[in-house]
Structure 1
Amino acid sequence: MIPTTSKAQEISLSRVLRLPSAVLFGLAYMIPLTVFTTFGIVNQLTEGHIISSYIVTLVAMLFTAASYAKMARAFPVAGSAYTYTRKTLGGHVGFMSGWTLLLDYLMMPMITYLVIGIYMEASFPAIPQAVWIVLSMVVVTGLNILGIKLISKTSSILLAVQAVFLIVFAVMALRAASGNPMPSIVDMLIGQGPGVAVIFSGAAILCLSFLGFDAVSALAEETVDARRIVPKAIILVTLIGGLLFIVISLLANLVFPDWTAYSSVDTAALDVTRAAGGPFLEAFFTAAYIAGCFGAVLASQTTVSRILFSMGRDGVLPRRVFGYVHPKFRTPAYAIVIVGAIGLIALVMDLTLASSLISFGALAAFSMVNLSVIKHYFIKNGQRRGMDLLRYLVAPLLGLALCVWLWTSLSAVAFAVGIGWMLAGLAYLATMTRGFRQSPPELDLADD
């Protein structure tokens, strides 16, 4: 049943984003400099073959991004994977997809706050990491409540700071690397590597770097002409971000090829930038990286609050809290505050585990979106002839296979915690639906 106009307006968001803003939002969410968040961890794991892992991840993400684009065209509303699976695979599966996706999205602001704390404490040792985490959470939460337009402008400015750094880094890294023996590109990609399994383990962790293309889909109800703009933005963000990650990783390995010599795998970027441009570039990197982290956490907290809003509006989470929209700013204020509070887990969480947990939630949700394409287009709509067979069956099946392979390549600890999260969601769903005898509640909205 479609609600009255007054009811729809009461729970609607403000449509202000166009294609450039949507792409910049997705790239800001990714943080072009996020390559350095897990650079040391993955480069050491893969024995210097992080580029191979990034190529595997990019291929997998392009297939999945294409599936997101198709579903965003079919269902241009907030909710991302939760909405797509709910509309195609049913309320129970939709809830579990949304629940699993929450592990990814709730951890994303948290890991960004953690990284801000790590690097700020490294720059200002007299101020504890915890102070930086709490301070950044308060600022970001306040900006989120004030509205999506302000967030979009702020994210674009912070993205520009990162772009300037990347240009300077590229020039200085190439100049510094010119004095080193030039390694073979084949050796950097394959060489005496640790094997395919380890490359995929690294690729599984790197999935968190790509969490930006799917974030764009969660802003469908704040985008002008969402059916046309959101699918384009999803593909552009994935491709641009992936190529940037590969180029930055290549430059970093050229200027600092010894992956065994990092002072700390968590802050390997400081070793790389110091080798490329000395104290100046190290300080510039810290400033640009922190700016990028603020842009990313603004975007990530925006995205997860919209997913919580969508689930609250449907009634699968308490509607009075998560379905609430601030009357002045037209933002899901309560959901934003809750996400900010959850971000304080950064005070006790380990960076490696947090990275793996994010990838666990993301890959599980990505798998379900690939299945949703097959169900909606190939099975339900009967689009099976000619190129449709490739678009709506073969491509999403490949995306699904790659996501499942990466998913099962995560660490045992991450897998155990992730499965525990899913079981908790299943128990909540069973309680809410009286032993799965009822469908989870849903609120259908008129589409503009």
Structure 2
Amino acid sequence: MAVAPTLKRTLTLRSLVLFGLAYMTPLIVLGIFGVVAETTGGASASAYLVALIAMLFTASSYGRMAAAYPVAGSAYTYVRRTIDSRVGFLVGWAVLLDYLFLPMVIWLIGAAYLEAQFPGVPGWVWIIGFILVTTLLNVLGIKVADRTNYVLMAFQVLVIIVFVGLSIGSIVAEQGASGLISASPFANPTATFSGVTAGAAIAAYSFLGFDAVTTFTEETIEPRKTVPRAILLIALIGGVIFVLVSYTTQLVHPGGHFTDSSSAAFDIALKIGGNVFGAIFIAGLVIAQFASGLAAQASASRLLFAMGRDGALPRAVFGRISERFRSPVINIVLIGVVGLVALFLNVATSTSFINFGAFVAFTMVNVSVIVYYFRRRREGTRLNPVIYLVLPVIAAVITSYLLTQLDINAIVLGLSWLAVGVIVLAFVTKGFRKLPPELDYSEAEPVEGSPSLVQE
């Protein structure tokens, strides 16, 4: 009997948290600050606070499922194990929309920053450069990408600290120390409830990726404890950064009116730090995009590996690992090829691709926890009803609402993608006459002679 490919456990809590934060890209709060502030009428901190609460509830659900099923696959695995393998396949298919295109969007945004800074260099040069370097690092293995993330995250955090510090200095210089304490970034005469909730829907996009570390479950030491902790820490740390940065930035520039909301944070960086810090800020944004792309491509390749190993996707292609690099090279390269689509798209169009799958996954993982609670209860196991029932219900309602607030083009694209998924599912299950294939996952180390993603 053939032994299924398995992954070697090398990642610690610190590694997972850094991967998750890199995927989220903390600097994204400044990248979309103007849009959120404009939508909320100058109450961007309030929008991020609402989004943080919603994401913490959902993070709790991911943690419960990661502890119950410590294998790669994320929402795809959790739904198929708790609800139905066919529903799980469709959720995994929806998540692919997010995972496959998110690296492309990240690389495109990074290239846009560089093209603005160096107009003499065509944007396609930067896009291809991002893809080649990121793909090479991920092919070399998870440990190489892990070490690279430490350096990239350190610089990104440094830029955030300097930005907040300069903001505080600017506020104190203009208003005195008392100017640092204000309720206006949370509530002011121009802010409305509908505006804050709409802003929270936008701000929630900044949290996309806190769940990505679940795809590294089989490479994590003591995953039943480490992964749930990492998920909550990523959402919490990211949320605190978002609230703090949006609060201080909003104090520097009260209200929601900007010359150009899409570049508002850069204009503020020039105001508080001059041209030198403006250049550093742009460098930080580009490096943040590179770190995020590194983590996003790695996560996407692991999801494809999990689905290929199950036979939900062709096993001979997606379920293979390189004997030399012990990484899913074909999947990594495929993500890079998909990234080339960025050569023909703009940022606005490409970002509409990634939201549908993320919110479908969030909602269904919350539903999975609810189903898991009642299943274990029927089996005689009592679980905490607050953690396994109340919080997931609240989170499912919120994420479902956010799903309905997506741009109509994103919804149409997402539904069309799901329709293709149904066709693929029909093919895999021979006209729905059998369940999608599923392998017997094991937490054991790979036995001698079996292929595995071992990183020496």
| TM tier, smaller | over 0.9
Question: Partners of 1:361 and 1:132 in 2: how far apart?
Answer: 27
Greater shift, 45-54 or 79-88, is seen at 45-54
Q: Find out whether 1:342 has 2:338 as its counterpart.
A: yes
1:120-199 maps to which residues of 2 (within 5 A)? 120-180=114-174, 182=179, 185-193=182-190, 195-199=192-196
How far apart, in 2, do the equivalents of 1:104 and 1:135 lie? 22
Match of 1:235 in 2: 232
The residue identity in structure 2 corresponding to 1:100 is A
After TM superposition, what 4+ stretches of structure 1 lie above 4 angstroms from structure 2?
A: 179-184, 383-387
Match of 2:365 among 365, 369, 372: 369
266, 286, 308: which one aligns with 1:270: 266
Q: Which residue number corresponds to residue 209 of structure 1?
A: 206
Cα deviation, residue 278, structure 1: 0.9
The 1:394/1:63 distance shift into structure 2, 3 A limit, reads same
* TM score, norm. by length of structure 1: 0.93
Alignment-derived partner of residue 65 in structure 1: 59
The correspondence for 1:43, drawn from 37, 47, 54, is 37
Structure 2 Cα separation of the partners of residues 157 and 207 of structure 1: 26
Asked if 1:116 is matched to 2:113, the reply is no
SS at match of 1:178: helix
The answer to whether 1:326 aligns with 2:317 is no
User: Does the CA-based 8 Å contact 1:54-1:245 persist in structure 2?
Assistant: yes
Counterpart of 2:302 in structure 1 is: 306
Tell me how far 1:402 sits from its aligned partner: 0.9
Could you give the per-residue CA deviations for residues 162-189 of structure 1, whole angstroms, max 9, x where no partner exists? Answer: 1221221122111112345649843322
- The one of 395, 399, 411 equivalent to 1:399 is 395
Amino acid at match of 1:325: I
Q: Verify: 1:427 aligned to 2:423, yes or no.
A: yes
Structure 2 residue identity aligned to 1:424:
V
C-alpha distance in structure 1 between counterparts of 2:412 and 2:189, whole Å:
31
Distance 2:423 2:241 in 1: 41
Identity of aligned residues (%): 43
Alignment match, 2:448 = none
Contact 1:201 1:410 in 2 (8 A): no
Distance in 1 between residues matched to 2:433 and 2:174, nearest whole Å: 66
Which residue does the alignment assign to 2:217?
220
- Larger displacement relative to structure 2 (185-194 or 31-40): 185-194
Structure 1: stretches of 5+ with no match in the other structure: none
> Is 1:33–2:40 an aligned residue pair?
no
Question: Contact between 2:34 and 2:258, CA under 8 Å: does it hold in 1?
Answer: no
Query: How many matched pairs?
Result: 441
- Code of the residue aligned with 1:281 in structure 2: it is F
- Kindly provide the amino acid, as one letter, of the partner of residue 137 in structure 1: I
Structure 2: which 5+ residue stretches go unaligned? 445-456
Q: CA deviation at 1:316?
A: 1.3
Equivalent position amino acid for 2:199 in 1: G
CA shift in 2, pair 1:426/1:38, >3 Å: farther
Residues 415, 192 of structure 1: CA spacing in aligned structure 2 closer, same or farther, 3 A cutoff?
Answer: farther
Change (3 A) 1:143 1:170: same
Q: Distance in 2 between matches of 1:188 and 1:354?
A: 30
Preserved CA contact (<8 Å) 1:304 1:339: yes
* Counterparts of 1:359 and 1:207, CA distance in 2: 10
**Deviation per residue, 1:391-418 (Å, 9 max, x gap):** 2111110110111111112222222222
In the alignment, the residues of structure 2 paired with residue 383 and residue 231 of structure 1 have an alpha-carbon distance, to the nearest angstrom, of 24
SS of 2:6's partner is: coil
Give the superposed CA RMSD: 2.0
Residue by residue over 1:342-386, the C-alpha shift from the partner in whole angstroms, topping out at 9 and shown as x without a partner, is: 112222334344444323211110100011111123334448998
SS of structure 2 residue aligned to 1:357: coil
Moved more, 280-289 or 373-382: 373-382
Aligned twin of 1:295: 291
Aligned partner of 2:282 among 279, 286, 293: 286
Deviations 1:92-129 (A, max 9, x none): 11011111111111221111101111110111110011
Inter-partner Cα distance in structure 2 for 1:411 and 1:301: 25
Greater Cα offset, 75-84 or 383-392: 383-392
Equivalent residue letter for 1:232: R
Give, as a single letter, the amino acid of the residue that structure 1 aligns with 2:392. P
CA contact (8 A) 2:185 2:251 kept: no
Partner AA of 1:164 in structure 2 = L
Change beyond 3 A, Cα 1:345–1:256: farther
Deviation string 1:132-158 (CA, Å, 9 cap, x unpaired) is: 011111110111100000111101110
Say whether the 8 Å CA contact 2:377–2:383 is kept in structure 1.
no
The answer on whether the counterparts of 1:23 and 1:236 sit within 8 Å (CA) in structure 2 is yes
**Cα pair distance change 1:102/1:402, threshold 3 Å:** same
> What's the counterpart of residue 386 of structure 2?
390
Instruction: Verify the 8 A CA contact 2:127 2:343 in the aligned structure 1.
Output: yes
Q: Take 2:204 and 2:433, find their aligned partners in 1: how far apart are those partners? A: 36
TM-superposed CA distance for 1:307, in Å, is 0.4
From 414, 421, 439, the equivalent of 2:435 is: 439
Cα distance change, pair 47–427 in 1 and its aligned pair in 2 (3 A): farther
8 Å CA contact 2:79–2:364 kept in 1: the answer is yes
- The match for 1:102 among 77, 96, 101 is 96
Q: Which moved more, 1:35-44 or 1:52-61?
A: 35-44
Which amino acid in the other structure matches residue 196 of structure 2? I
Aligned to 1:86: 80
Structure 2 letter corresponding to 1:31: T
